[in-house]
Amino acid sequence: MTSTPATGQSLPDYAPVPTSSFGPALNEDGYHVGRVERNLFWVTDGTYLSAFLATDEGVILFDAPPTIGHNLRRAVDEIAEAESLSNKVTHIVYSHHHADHTGAANLFGDDLVRIGHEETRRLLIRDNDPTRPAPDVTFSDSYTLEMGGETVELAYHGPNHSPDNIYIHFPNHDTMMLVDIVNPGWVPIYNLNLSDDAPGYLTAPDKAMEYPWSHYIGGHLGRLGTREDLALHQLYIGDIVASSEAALASVDPTPYFVRYGANVWAGVKGYLDEVTATAAAPVVSKYTGVLGAADVEAFTYTTTFTIMQSMRLDLGAGSQVHP
Ligand SMILES: [Zn+2]
């Protein structure tokens, strides 16, 4: 077998991504900065999103993805000049500790206040990464940040994608920022968007929906989200749950255990792979052309596997006690 990924000849084809999944074009520096509402702005490089609030007293930055990197500074400067406001970043709020969302935090120096969940602080001290200085101001349940007449409500509702991922609500900007849960217009990537806590991940969009907002900053891809995007994501996840239940009830493990005998792990592998494939296939067909990359099968397959294992391990589905 030969593989020629450099020319793309052996790489699979995928359905076109729905046009509605894409955001605005990037500028020549490779970013787009747009107004969410009033003085709240969002920045994207097409793959990552962050945000900032430009007030009379300075700028509050929400996450600093390294892929946007120095373009964050350019975006802040561009808006500060256009709005005749200070471009000084006085605060940075971390959504969670992951480097792909915070690894450019050090670009804004040390003369600022860093805010995050207490678990974010613990994890960043553990990780000891100079690009992600630990937050100085921390909270356990909730924290209200007020500056320049603006209010931001930070809240922790338990582990989900990561142990420390928080809800950032802008009550006066009709906006929710919740990172790495819903990718507006696209499916989650591998393993439930690389989530640590499946039950927490599955319920996070419902918790977000309990807040009033119209604009959603999800941290990924190239556009803002809406409540409809969260509802569509929940339909996709709900279909995977239902499909997994059906597959667990219908797929017969016997042939795999007969075939592999004493090698029970090989039997388990054969069986779980068939359950996963059976559960994922109808979801892949249903959402191809609806959500970007629904037919990048490894994503829907591994997400299905993760949900199925959570149903088994967290919820006890299919658990049988030996008589
Ligand atoms: Zn993350």
CA 96 – CA 179 distance, rounded (Å): 8
The alpha carbon of 79 and the centre of ligand 1 are apart by a number of angstroms equal to 27
The alpha carbon of 98 and the centre of ligand 1 are apart by a number of angstroms equal to 5
Cα-Cα-Cα-Cα torsion 195, 52, 212, 146, nearest 10 degrees, comes to 110
- Give this prediction's pTM: 0.94
The alpha carbon of 159 and the centre of ligand 1 are apart by a number of angstroms equal to 12
User: Which pairing describes strands 40-44 and 167-170: parallel, antiparallel, or unpaired?
Assistant: unpaired
Q: How many CB atoms lie within 10 A of CB 114?
A: 23
Q: What is the pLDDT along the chain (323 residues), one digit of tens a residue?
A: 445 566 656 899 999 999 999 999 999 999 999 999 999 999 999 999 999 999 999 999 999 999 999 999 999 999 999 999 999 999 999 999 999 999 999 999 999 999 999 999 999 999 999 999 999 999 999 999 999 999 999 999 999 999 999 999 999 999 999 999 999 999 999 999 999 999 999 999 999 999 999 999 999 999 999 999 999 999 999 999 999 999 999 999 999 999 999 999 999 999 999 999 999 999 999 999 999 999 998 999 999 999 999 988 888 877 778 88
The alpha carbon of 321 and the centre of ligand 1 are apart by a number of angstroms equal to 37
The alpha carbon of 117 and the centre of ligand 1 are apart by a number of angstroms equal to 14
